[in-house]
Structure 1
């Protein structure tokens, strides 16, 4: 997979909504696209706002190369970093330059399901890997083959919200005693066999939530999100916007509570309230309820159906 513009396989979710809410801050501003993917959101901003500049982040060097070629016509308006977004905002290589808007699109790109060959989907028989970045310590196969049964069940329940987690963990452990798991189809078949007949014909495939749980665990997705939100908000300039598109309740819950905490009041790095007696808050929530994709978008782009989009405007720096 070398990546060319014609290799684009992912349609960016809620792109018009993201542009509507974030563009007021970006006429001549800087957008940090924290999950660049194939560059769809960034291309929209760059093409419509001639003064906008982009810093794009992605931990996957292969998909970053696709975005690099796609965004090449915009020249020096684009800077790309092959890194996790939590690491970027922790180390922050931009010095005193502060973003005017920050966008997180937390979904896994169709590229990863269809082109990566790393086992994000069970539709094809692929190595059971799921690492977005090749140097991560453990793969999905490592987890499946080594975790104790209770720990595995807890992981599937916590990150996949799978009510049959104990049943599936028991079946997985029984199977691996005779032969370790190496491919997606091996895992999918064990889960299918362990599923009650009624569960096999539900809205989603019985293995979907288990695969989600493994992907989240392998890539540390929730911990990275919790860490990055605070650091990104601190780097955002006052008056700037932060938007987050999430795809399952675990992510959305983290974002919702973070935004509410920023709305309730400012807290300094020492933990002391700032100006709480005057009711000063750090952020204004611009989406009282999360926005959902339109029926038309869901019709033409099925992966968007579970998306939720929340936006805040930063009012002040918390440490003054």
Structure 2
């Protein structure tokens, strides 16, 4: 992997969006719910000298590496091994819950991290032969191999279609079920070869690597990513104090759809639409900070491949 893939996506924009809430508070707290290698958190700590960051990650190896990177700021960070749908419990335990005034920012940088892609033994990258694991927390739950070897053809097709938007989901699923009867799937190279054979040649010539969509779908299924995020986002909104902000970097249309809908609910009220104004006390508790979703610029997309599919959305709590 190139060094560019370790550069935090839309870093300047993230800092710009969080700055007003952080700078308006004497002892601000921001939660990085997907700490990864700590790139966004490191930049936040350098930019805002009074900031305290709670860094959450389900990957213990990521926490270890991020802790080493962030050692110069160790007195201003709390690193927590957890899944981000445990956000409310984590903040309550650390004394940063709503009763303590809430936090000033929450950042979600969704999807797989560069570290996970770089470690071949984790099985996230289709370009390297490795065990079919794909668990962000390798100590919990079924692996990608378990999914491939136990799901029915119908279940596999659903996963590939819904989470990978794979046009040939049914054909691939049927081929997987046939091949696993000969020998269970254990490594990525065999799956990649199957995908090349299952996807028609004309389709293989467009849309990137033929394994991309299937690997994405398996990763999302193994880690229950969409359900976890759907549970975590309302907790993030609830965790904010007045003026606090949530910033989301999504890399998949389904992640972005969850964000869009949650933000739409938070920034509208339940009053009739034909009212000329909202009566006092009925104003929405949040306001949008972005018009639609924002994308990375051409230069960043060229330099940092991970930025090419990013969609950024942000909201601010306007009322306690």
Gaps of 5+ in 1: 1-6, 268-275
Check conservation: 1:125, 1:185, Cα contact below 8 A. Answer: yes
Query: Which one of the candidate residues 231, 238, 255 is aligned to 2:242?
Result: 238
Match of 2:275 in 1: none
Q: Which residue of 2 aligns with 1:11?
A: 7
Query: What root-mean-square deviation, in Å, do the aligned CA atoms of Structure 1 and Structure 2 show?
Result: 1.9
- Give the alignment partner of residue 291 of structure 2, picking from 283, 288, 291: 288
Match status 1:131 vs 2:135: yes
SS in structure 2 at match of 1:240: strand
Pick one of 92, 99, 108 that aligns with 2:103. Answer: 99
Q: Secondary structure at the match of 1:26?
A: helix
Residues 262, 36 of structure 1: alpha-carbon distance in 2 compared, 3 angstrom cutoff = same
For residues 49 and 155 of structure 1, what CA distance do their matches in structure 2 show? 42
Structure 1 residues 114 and 231 mapped into 2: Cα distance closer, same or farther (>3 Å)?
A: same
The answer for the alignment partner of 2:274 in structure 1 is: none
Offset at 1:116? Answer: 5.2
Deviations 1:38-69 (A, max 9, x none): 11001111111111111111110111111101
Helix, strand or coil at the partner of 2:132: coil
- Any unmatched runs of 5+ in structure 2? 272-277
CA distance in 2, matches of 1:11, 1:187: 30
1:185 aligns with 2:184: no
Contact in 2 for aligned 1:90/1:228 (Cα 8 Å): no
Q: CA deviation at 1:94?
A: 2.4
| Separation in structure 1 between the aligned mates of residue 199 and residue 15 of structure 2, nearest angstrom | 42
Deviations for 1:89-139, whole angstroms, at most 9, x for unmatched residues? 245322344210000000311111112521101111000000000222210
2:84 is aligned with 1:82: no
Q: CA separation in 2, counterparts of 1:185 and 1:26?
A: 46
Give the aligned partner of residue 24 of structure 1. 20
- Asked if structure 1 preserves the Cα contact closer than 8 Å seen for 2:32 and 2:55, the reply is yes
The CA distance in 2 between the partners of 1:191 and 1:215, in whole Å, is: 16
* TM-superposed deviation, 1:71: 0.7
Q: Given the alignment, which residue of 172, 175, 183 partners 2:176?
A: 172
Q: CA deviation at 1:9?
A: 6.3
**Number of matched pairs:** 304
